[in-house]
Structure 1
């Protein structure tokens, strides 16, 4: 178990992504994935109110609804649920009134009295940050949200949020959710991790497996014939440099009798301030690899090998 920032949330160090629920996983498949995750020791579920509004016929909130129905059916103990606000078609942006309405709608769909971890999904610079911070603080004060977090915010805006929180007495964020993995390191390592270290924030990275590329499934830039709707996003990484990373992951994984995906997740968990990478599964058969990634401990020399093969040049160098 690992603690999320300065919160009282102790979670298994791998978060199950709910972005596929109501998209590539229907209700029954989603229930099976959630069952396998919890039976295997997982207890941290990540979703957003906008999942999956991009699917024809969907209107947003499908993932939360499925998770809520699963929670009501299974009544699991000790499960931590994170969700987000700002992108639902009916609740766009981060004005105070919108944040309140969106949170209440999420609670109804999830069937919860309070959201364990509530993220500002994307920054909304059209709204004064003081208003947004105050809105999140009011949700905590009223018992609708237990912990505040931010996603896709720059380091500068995170600092500004924290400064406003300190001056206004609003609880500080406990987590930040950035795009971070072995093929996408630069910005997070240069700017976000230093802020997280300074203020005790836990990182909960998304795209932890680079849309599936870091499972080793995509070894060509040609996505044609791939069944997954995310194939194009994954295949773009199948360059000479990207495939060297996959080869190294495979070698290290073989030494531990585990998968490329689990090894990639283990590398991410070993990075400073990272609490629990987010990874999703469309079928229960994909869940064991994710759980293995939450348990595998890589040796220092293995981490260094992966650091070296995925090395990047810092901005301005």
Structure 2
């Protein structure tokens, strides 16, 4: 069970079964860094996020083909020079799997093999101009690499001082369990945390599939896409595409096509959530972020921003969490119709009777 402390307006949780404290809301570089904003804006946003209590900044080797890591590293070092923070003050994370060369990736420049994990983290550290990151994730499971090889490679990375902790991202409960079993059997370090997608429309894995992992391994979670690709911001109501939004980028045309076809129902549900947000005195985006943060198994919610005003608004979600009473959460469930249908006692009864 993670431990929680409060400091100022921000809440901090221990990340999984560790003593590492991470802010309930954090900042990620996906889409925004390099694709939407330049270095000056990235630094201003990171600095303001830190002032608001954020201490975790997330990245990946594949974001903007490595350029997002370069930009975050430059912004971090500008903050060091300006005396905004010290290295001990922040938790910097990155993820390995997709490679940093885009279409130029070769067979062994991606994946979770020992070769790519070691070469990949060395390349990430060089781009960010760091001696180490606090947490390194396997960005996706690798069907070609035995999990034991990945576990041993991640432990090698930790032994070399390239990272302090390691985790997974979008791994199944079975894969995470196997990684933990391999680590326990060989006296190695388990994955500390998982980085899954989680939002009002995407719930089963975090709420049901991982539930045994929280109890057995103390698994932490660093949530991505709390706004469901921006849909829960409400800005795409009526299939409107604001200039400068991620759906307006040609690079993410596939995202727009998906949002306006198979995810069109989510845009409609978001509009129906707006009256609840108004009653609570917040935006629907703040409601959605607070909803994620209210889950006791969520260690941190990774947000994104391209403007200071957007960051400020997102971080106000911290004050909305206490307003999410059981009655409010029930109303959200009734509108979204996405709550996983699972009753562990009923499931066990069916097993005893031989039904399932």
Q: TM-score, normalised by structure 2?
A: 0.80
Instruction: Report what 1:56 is aligned to.
Output: none
**Pair 1:66-2:71 in alignment:** yes
Aligned to 1:306: 332
| Whole-angstrom CA distance in 2 between matches of 1:194 and 1:101 | 33
1:63 to partner: Cα distance: 0.9
How far, CA to CA, are the matches of 1:201 and 1:32 in structure 2?
32
Residues 5 and 202 in structure 1, CA contact (< 8 A), matched pair in contact too: yes
Structure 1 runs not aligned, ≥5 long:
53-59
Deviations 1:83-109 (A, max 9, x none): 100111353011112111111111122
Query: Hey, what's the Cα distance between the residues in 2 that align with 1:13 and 1:71?
Result: 20
In structure 2, relative to structure 1, the CA distance for the partners of 1:110 and 1:7 (3 Å cut) is farther
Structure 1 residues 144 and 173, CA, compared in 2 at 3 Å: closer, same or farther? same
Contact 2:225 2:302 (8 Å CA) reproduced: yes
Which of 204, 229, 232 aligns to 1:211? It is 229
Q: 1:259 aligns with which of 264, 278, 283?
A: 283
> 2:200 maps to which residue?
182
Task: Classify 1:65/1:227 alpha carbon distance in 2 versus 1 (closer, same or farther; 3 Å).
Answer: closer
- Aligned counterpart, 2:114: 96
Give the corresponding residue for 1:294: 318
From 18, 21, 27, the equivalent of 1:10 is 21
CA distance in 2, matches of 1:283, 1:72: 20
1:218 and 1:81 mapped to 2: Cα distance?
A: 31
Cα separation, partners in 2 of 1:25 and 1:227, compared to 1, 3 Å: closer
Number of residue pairs aligned between Structure 1 and Structure 2: 307
2: distance between equivalents of 1:138 and 1:256?
48
* Structure 1 residue aligned with 2:268: 243
Query: What does residue 82 of structure 1 align with?
Result: 93
Quick check: 1:151–1:176 contact (8 Å CA) kept in 2?
A: yes
Say if 2:138 and 2:167, in contact at 8 Å, map to a contact too.
yes
Unaligned runs of 5+ in 2: 1-11, 249-255, 348-355
**SS in structure 2 of the partner of residue 147 of structure 1:** strand
More helix by share: 2
Distance 1:310 1:198 in 2: 30
Does the aligned pair in 1 maintain the 2:152–2:188 contact within 8 Å? yes
Corresponding position: 1:32 with 2:44: yes
> TM-score scaled to structure 1, two decimals?
0.89
